[in-house]
Amino acid sequence: MDRGLKTSGIIGFAAPIFTFTCILAAIASWPQFSWTNNALSDLGVQSGFTAILFNSGLVIGGILFAVFATGLYSFAGKRFIGKVGAACFFLAWIALIAIGIFNENFRPTHYIVSVMLFVFLPISLLIFVATFWIESKRRLSGLTLALALVAAAVWVLQLTVEYVPNVAIPEFISGLAGAAWVWVLSYLMLKKASQTPNT
């Protein structure tokens, strides 16, 4: 069994659960939060336990996602395009860590790293669409395309028709699309690890 790939797969399952649990717990701890009128990052500047939950959740969760991305770099195979996709995916989670460190009080840094996350995430998925297609993994390519379009569409719609006053909903939906993809790839990593001779 490939222990490195197995570790990355396990961490990939854990990272979204940990991160979204912290975010939802932070929301629950701040009764004034509004899905339509707030950004998720508003949680990071509230007093008391709310900010601690949110910011630490992003930092630790981002580290877990970044570790998963290193395994993804190996899983992507030998093609250069797959390596580029993994690198972009890694940068997305470095941006998530930075969001937790540089909250809304750190402007314009917070805005810049937030944009980085929600740009690099769909871009990395679109690169993997091509990677999986080239490798004749057509179903995985199609699923990746669907999730990439979800991750991007919520932002395109927000910027064009502004369907909500603030950005918590597009942030959450885009993040969930990325999390769903991580779970699928984590499963495939664990499956491949179990079929690989001990390393």
- Mean predicted lDDT score pLDDT of the chain: 94
Mean pLDDT of 35-63: 96
Per-residue confidence (pLDDT) for residue 3, from 0 to 100: 79
Residues 187, 151, 87, 92, CA torsion sign: negative
Query: What is the largest distance, in Å, between two alpha-carbon atoms of the chain?
Result: 53
Asked whether the predicted pLDDT for residue 1 surpasses 60, the reply is: no
Q: Supply 173's token pair.
A: 């939906």
Give 126's Cβ-side CA count (13 Å radius): 11
Termini Cα distance of the chain:
6
Which pLDDT value is given to residue 77? 66
Locus of tokens 């984590």? 186
Q: What percent of the chain has pLDDT over 90?
A: 84
Task: Please give the share of the chain, as a percent, with pLDDT higher than 70.
Answer: 97
Tokens of residue 59, six digits:
């930092």
pLDDT at residue number 145: 98
Confidence (pLDDT) at 72: 87
* pTM beyond 0.85: yes
pLDDT at position 192 over 80 = yes
Distance CA 100, CA 95 (A): 9
pLDDT average, residue stretch 130-146 = 94
Q: What is the pLDDT of residues 82-132, one digit of tens each?
A: 999 999 999 999 999 999 999 999 999 999 999 999 999 999 999 999 999
Q: Over the range 99-110, which residues count as b (16 or more CB within 10 Å of their CB) and which as e?
A: bbbbbbeeeeeb
